[in-house]
Amino acid sequence: MNSSSVNVGAADAASAAISAQTDRFVHERLPPPEQWPTLDYSLLPELHIPAQVNLVDTLFNRALQNGHADRPMLRSDRMTLSYAEALARVNRIAQVLTEDFHLVPGNRVLLRGGNSIGMALAWLGVVQAGLVAVASMPLLRAKELCEIIEKAQPTVALCDASLLDELQLARAQTTVLQAIIPFNQMNEPGSMAVLSAQKDGNFIPCPVAADDIAMMAFTSGTTGKPKAAVHTHRDVLAACEAWPRHVLQASPDDIVMGSPPLAFTFGLGGMLIFPMWAGASVYYPSIGYTPEAMVQLINQVGATICYTAPTFYRQMAAFARQHGVPRLRRCVSAGESLPDATRQLWKDATGIEIIDGIGATEMFHIFISSTPGDVRRGAIGKVVPGYRAKVVDESGNEVPRGAIGRLAVIGPTGCRYLDDDRQRNYVKNGWNYPGDAFTQDADGYFFYQARDDDMIITAGYNVAGPEVEDALLKHPAVAECGVVGAPDADRGMVVKAYVVLKPGHAGGDAMARQLQDHVKAMLAPFKYPRQIEFLPQLPRTETGKLQRFRLRQP
């Protein structure tokens, strides 16, 4: 039985049966209602989502009803699964979790794996069963995994067989996690492949409420201490109706590739949920990417949509110019600010205008962006249909156009942290404050300045670190850079740049002066970096975000 043919009466009976045994752990640890964001569904008619809806069931039903059952959904160099084949596997995974491990709706399941068909199926199987998916980054160590386990309280984990060691160490240090089920492993007793092969796939998708919890996303840690953001089935479906529909505009013929991990909301949306919504397919490589390998694989696979971080686009540009990318039509950048220098470098190499976007783990995905035909140099874009955004002062009052202030956002998604006092900092009077400084012009375009704590106040002047970084990146010797404020007795703070040079260039006083003169020629003189330190590499998160807080540490 596939999910599109489930008897309505059976679903109603199942709904009644689960109501008495639902685990309310997450619901009971949400912020008090007065700290919730305003969730606005009024801006688009398609945001009116039924009160009872299972995210994964809806995605598969949409594909099947649109005639995509036999079209490719998940691809790798080893296999390709159609939508119908993927659904059968997802249902078997859901059966294993509910029948063999007796999990009930609302139970949390830890997921650990890189981007693979196995990881995608595991995530979908968890949510299809009405459970809460708690994905973790592949590079996390046992200590970090213990922190997630203690916060989320999962009793079962699905883990890529190649990543078992650290999770087993974590399990030994906690009494919460009771079982680990390996995936991407064939013919091993206790593996998901063996357990699911014993199931018939006759699974009725859990008839959850739209406001039941589908996932818990841990922030990627650019500020040091991760938080757990909670999202409902309604949140993720509403996100599908906003940026993907109105900006990305993918089609069933698209093949998606990219580097952001499925454990990161940018990757989960771009590399799984949004392609399913469009009836498209996703390619997951068996090995990690290098810039040249990604360009070659884009051409080998025939990828039409690419997601990656600005640094990778910059590194890929030379190879794209060399090899060409004839089928690629959409390139999406998010996760950190996109310097205009990188945007123009990629456009010169490929002819493709990068779709920039700002989103947040707390908001699930992108809420400011623009289509390739509506780009303005230096701007991220306009507010995505379905959302409202403004630039405000410390009191929440909108500032004049062109003035720097804090970004505030309202829409169909919003921040709800699991049991975290920092909720008060993110949501104020119903508005979400992602922690970014912006300006907005008279035409409604938003211009990113910096993270709130990355604004550098030097001798009374405000300097945005990313603006200085963009200037430095235009110098032919600079491969990467990060700009922060450094304490100074006379000025309070000075602009300091950490620079990674391209091969063939050496650091030192002469290079530092050359870079300082370069910035002075492009920006107001007070913005140039008075201190420059050369590094072999910059500190980044697993998702590629620059960790400026680490640059600010002595």
In three-state form (DSSP H/G/I as H, E/B as E, the rest C), the secondary structure along 292-355 is HHHHHHHHHHCCCEEEECHHHHHHHHHHHHHHCCCCCCEEEECCCCCCHHHHHHHHHHHCCCCE
Q: Please identify which residue in the block is written with the tokens 């007796």.
A: 102
Exposed (0-12), middle (13-18) or buried (19+): which is 300, by Cβ within 10 Å? exposed
- pLDDT tens for the chain, 554 residues long, are 333 333 444 445 545 555 557 899 999 999 999 999 999 999 999 999 999 999 999 999 999 999 999 999 999 999 999 999 999 999 999 999 999 999 999 999 999 999 999 999 999 999 999 999 999 988 888 888 998 999 999 999 999 999 999 999 999 999 999 999 999 988 889 999 999 999 999 999 999 999 999 999 998 544 446 789 999 999 999 999 999 999 999 999 999 999 989 998 999 999 999 999 999 999 999 887 888 999 999 999 999 999 998 888 988 999 999 999 999 999 999 777 788 988 999 999 999 999 999 999 999 999 999 999 999 999 999 999 999 999 999 999 999 999 999 999 999 999 999 999 999 999 999 999 998 889 999 999 999 887 776 678 787 666 878 889 989 999 999 999 999 988 887 777 899 999 999 999 999 999 999 999 999 888 878 889 999 999 999 998 776 778 888 888 86
Q: Kindly state the tokens that stand for 332.
A: 């999406």
Alpha helices for 41-191 (secondary structure H): 55-65, 83-95, 117-128, 142-152, 164-172
Q: Report how far residue 542's alpha carbon sits from residue 335's, in angstroms, rounded to the nearest whole number.
A: 11
The Cα–Cα gap between 249 and 277 comes to 11
The SS3 call for residue 45 is helix
CA distance 541 to 173: 25
Nearest-CA neighbor of 112 among 86, 89, 142, 83?
142
Architecture of the CATH domain 459-552 = 2-Layer Sandwich (3.30)
Q: What is the DSSP letter of 198?
A: T
Determine the 3-state secondary structure of 93 from DSSP: helix
Q: HEC profile for 437-487?
A: EEEECCCCCEEEEEEHHHEEEECCEEEEHHHHHHHHHCCCCEEEEEEEEEE
> For 20-42, b where at least 16 C-beta lie within 10 A, e where not — what string?
eebbeebeebbbeeebebebbbe
| Residue 361 CA from chain centroid, whole number | 6
CATH topology of domain 3-30+54-208: Rossmann fold (3.40.50)
Query: DSSP label at 13?
Result: H
The answer to whether 529 touches 488, Cβ cutoff 8 Å, is no
The full set of domain ranges for the chain reads 3-30+54-208, 459-552
Distances (CA, A) of 398 to 268, 299, 381, 468: 33, 46, 18, 26
Report how far residue 274's alpha carbon sits from residue 81's, in angstroms, rounded to the nearest whole number.
17
How far, CA to CA in Å, does 437 sit from each of 121, 289, 385, 467, 472? 38, 32, 21, 12, 20
Strand partners, 389: 409
Sequence-distant (≥ 6) Cβ neighbours of residue 369 within 8 angstroms: 243, 247, 355, 356, 357, 358, 380, 381, 382, 384
From CA 149, how far away is CA 134, in angstroms rounded? 9
* Distance separating alpha carbons of residues 396 and 394, to the nearest angstrom: 6
CA distance 115 to 462: 40
Contact call for residues 254 and 277 (beta carbons, < 8 A)? no
170: Cβ contacts below 8 Å, ≥ 6 apart: 142, 143, 145, 146, 149, 177
Distance from CA of residue 415 to its chain's centroid? Answer: 14
Amino acid identity of residue 331, one-letter, is C
User: For residues 97 and 110, is the Cβ–Cβ distance under 8 A?
Assistant: no
Query: Going by C-beta distance under 8 Å and a sequence separation of 6 or more, which residues neighbour residue 326?
Result: 299
- For position 20, what pLDDT does the model report? 57
- Token pair of 399 as six digits: 């500032």
pLDDT at residue 461, as a whole number: 67
N-terminal to C-terminal alpha carbon distance within the chain: 60
Dihedral pair phi/psi, residue 153, rounded to 5°: 60, 50
